[in-house]
């Protein structure tokens, strides 16, 4: 397993382009199973990850966005069937949950407009909004920082 982590420069296009270039470099220079490339972004990394998924979703097998908001191009995203799992606290202390709920609803409607059934959409798009207890049970007192807990869930 290779884990690549870029340093965010701007939470935007520059960081997204750097991550895309780095991913393309590794897939072009190392024997990497391209069916097993995953992207995870939390907070500002999630915003950057959503931009990546709005530009080159085909580079990744799946995307986990935690404690963030969607900044990427949802119409490009809807043309891809790369699974996306969005996870956030109902009362995220930085973003709230409204941004991801809105992105989920818009993306869901874009998929419907492209002819996907509810069952097909449910396989590639998940919104997981957790209540406060989820975080307190795991020892978090800040629901935004608690986004780290999502990646440990089965």
- List the helix and strand counts (H, then E) for the chain: 6, 4
| DSSP type of residue 143 | T
> How far, in Å, CA of 114 to CA of 67, rounded?
28
| Sequence ranges of the domains in the chain | 45-152
> How far, in Å, CA of 9 to CA of 42, rounded?
15
CA 46 to chain centre: 6
Radius of gyration of the chain (CA): 15
The superfamily in CATH containing domain 45-152 is Alpha/Beta hydrolase fold, catalytic domain (3.40.50.1820)
Q: With 90 as the cut, is the pLDDT of residue 97 above it?
A: yes
> How far, in Å, CA of 22 to CA of 52, rounded?
12
Percent of the chain at pLDDT exceeding 70: 100
pLDDT at 91: 95
The reported pTM is 0.92
Q: Residues 101-141: pLDDT tens digits?
A: 999 999 999 999 999 999 999 999 999 999 999 999 999 99
């Amino acid at each position: 397993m290779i884990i690549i982590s870029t340093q965010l420069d701007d939470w935007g296009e520059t960081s997204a382009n750097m991550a895309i270039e780095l991913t393309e470099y590794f897939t072009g220079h190392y024997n990497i199973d391209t069916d097993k490339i995953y992207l995870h972004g939390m907070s500002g990394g999630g915003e950057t990850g959503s931009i990546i998924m709005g530009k080159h979703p085909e580079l990744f097998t799946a995307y986990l966005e935690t404690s963030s908001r969607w900044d990427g191009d949802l119409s490009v995203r809807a043309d891809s069937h790369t699974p996306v799992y969005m996870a956030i606290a109902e009362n995220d202390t930085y973003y709230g949950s409204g941004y991801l709920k809105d992105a989920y609803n818009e993306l869901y409607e874009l998929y419907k407009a492209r002819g996907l059934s509810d069952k097909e959409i449910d396989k590639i798009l998940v919104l997981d909004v957790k209540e406060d207890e989820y975080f307190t049970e795991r020892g978090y007192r800040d629901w935004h920082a608690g986004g780290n807990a999502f990646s440990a869930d089965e």
